[in-house]
């Protein structure tokens, strides 16, 4: 059955698998998702459910902020789809997917439960080795909030102002659709417009790489700043698996060790401001 995503489900391309065309899910070696922010209206749980249905993982890394407890403290918002995400993840673990849950700052209380629970492991960070032999430090990223000074922007990103901007998105895009224009993300635009935010992202990426160097790894993979990215910074590759609030993006590793960005969001539209799904040669070193 087609699901009803919170934000403009009719604006997304999706495969209808309900008419007997049982497509095999794509099998990938590993996948990374972060910043789903379940419990907020901005969470695109429907898009994430598509991703979870269309892919099978040997290992699924949940790189923090799966549930937004900060927001839930202000008021409970928990539609069925948010349950479906949890159930889908638990079902995958029962069927053999190894789940590695690395708590972030919005779900920091989960960090009180570090340990192994069947196929699910809760830990502060992980070292992943790709099929190509690349060693990747996997970490949420809030560990650097104290180092990267521009915490004002971060507070904003996790706070009411950001939620407000996100809430305007469906309205703006309704009007744009009426005029035959593609999807446009107000909050992504605002983030990109603010010079501080841009320099913040750059500094965050560089500090993250510096932090990772102490782990003797080839790469670092994080979330936290809602800015999907793969780029080489000096000797290390910097990966950010994005979020499921705006970009609806994840990273996947194929059997050959190659790592790709995948997009499941409305930004798949033609005039998308972000880079489309593509192969990333930099990932294989």
Instruction: Select the span of 46-54, 61-69, 180-188, 234-242 touching Mn ion (CB under 5 A).
Output: 61-69
Site string for Mn ion, 155-184 (x = CB under 5 A): ------------------------------
> Is residue 39 a contact point for Mn ion (CB under 5 A)?
no
Asked if residue 165 lies in contact with residue 186, where contact means CB atoms within 8 angstroms, the answer is yes
> Is residue 65 a contact point for Mn ion (CB under 5 A)?
yes
> Is residue 224 a contact point for Mn ion (CB under 5 A)?
yes
Instruction: Select the span of 15-23, 87-95, 141-149, 213-221 touching Mn ion (CB under 5 A).
Output: 141-149
Nearer to Mn ion, 29 or 103 (CB): 103
Angle (CA) 94-104-120 rounded to 5° is 15
Strands 229-233 and 135-138: unpaired
Task: List beta partners, residue 30.
Answer: 59, 253
Supply the DSSP symbol for 174: H
Nearer to Mn ion, 39 or 104 (CB): 104
Q: Which of 71, 105, 240, 263 binds Mn ion (CB under 5 A)?
A: 105
CA separation (Å) from 18 to 8, 13, 15, 23?
20, 15, 9, 10
Instruction: Select the span of 127-135, 137-145, 184-192, 263-271 touching Mn ion (CB under 5 A).
Output: 137-145
Nearer to Mn ion, 34 or 134 (CB): 34
Nearer to Mn ion, 60 or 154 (CB): 154
Shortest distance in whole angstroms from residue 101 CB to Mn ion: 14
> Is residue 266 a contact point for Mn ion (CB under 5 A)?
no
Nearer to Mn ion, 84 or 108 (CB): 108
Q: Which of 104, 242, 265, 266 binds Mn ion (CB under 5 A)?
A: 104
- The contacts of residue 186 (CB under 8 Å, 6+ apart) are 165, 166, 168, 169, 172
Angle (CA) 173-153-245 rounded to 5° is 40
Nearest Cα neighbor of 249 from 54, 31, 60 is: 31
Nearer to Mn ion, 28 or 67 (CB): 67
Site string for Mn ion, 81-100 (x = CB under 5 A): --------------------
Instruction: Select the span of 53-61, 69-77, 105-113, 240-248 touching Mn ion (CB under 5 A).
Output: 105-113
Q: What CA–CA distance (Å, rounded) separates 167 from 159?
A: 12
Asked if residue 134 lies in contact with residue 284, where contact means CB atoms within 8 angstroms, the answer is yes
Instruction: Select the span of 138-146, 147-155, 210-218, 244-252 touching Mn ion (CB under 5 A).
Output: 138-146
CA separation (Å) from 161 to 21, 78, 139, 245?
43, 21, 26, 14
User: How far, rounded to the nearest angstrom, does the alpha carbon of residue 215 sit from its chain's CA centroid?
Assistant: 23
Binding site for Mn ion (CB under 5 A): 65, 104-105, 142, 224
């Amino acid at each position: 059955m087609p699901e009803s995503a919170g934000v403009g489900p009719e604006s997304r391309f999706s495969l209808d698998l309900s008419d007997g065309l049982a497509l095999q899910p794509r099998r990938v070696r590993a996948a990374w998702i972060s910043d789903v922010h379940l419990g907020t209206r901005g969470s695109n749980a429907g898009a994430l459910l598509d991703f979870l249905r269309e892919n099978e993982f040997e290992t699924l890394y949940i790189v923090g902020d799966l549930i937004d407890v900060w927001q839930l403290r202000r008021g409970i918002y928990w539609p069925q789809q948010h349950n479906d995400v949890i159930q889908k993840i638990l079902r995958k673990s029962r069927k053999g997917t190894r789940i590695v849950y690395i708590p972030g700052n919005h779900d920091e209380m989960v960090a009180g439960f570090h340990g192994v629970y069947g196929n699910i492991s809760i830990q502060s960070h992980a070292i992943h080795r790709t099929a190509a032999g690349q060693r990747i430090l996997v970490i949420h990223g809030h560990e650097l909030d104290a180092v990267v000074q521009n915490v004002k922007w971060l507070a904003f990103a996790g706070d009411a102002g950001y939620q407000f901007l996100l809430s305007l998105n469906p309205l703006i895009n309704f009007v744009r659709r009426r005029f035959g224009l593609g999807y446009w993300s107000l909050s992504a635009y605002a983030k990109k417009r603010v010079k501080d935010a841009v320099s913040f992202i750059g500094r965050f990426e560089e500090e993250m790489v510096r932090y990772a160097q102490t782990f003797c790894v080839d790469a670092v993979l994080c979330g936290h700043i809602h800015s999907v990215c793969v780029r080489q910074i000096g000797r290390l590759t910097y990966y950010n698996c994005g979020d499921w609030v705006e970009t609806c993006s994840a990273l996947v590793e194929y059997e050959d060790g190659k790592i790709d960005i995948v997009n499941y969001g409305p930004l798949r539209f033609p005039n998308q401001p972000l880079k489309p799904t593509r192969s990333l040669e930099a990932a294989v070193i």
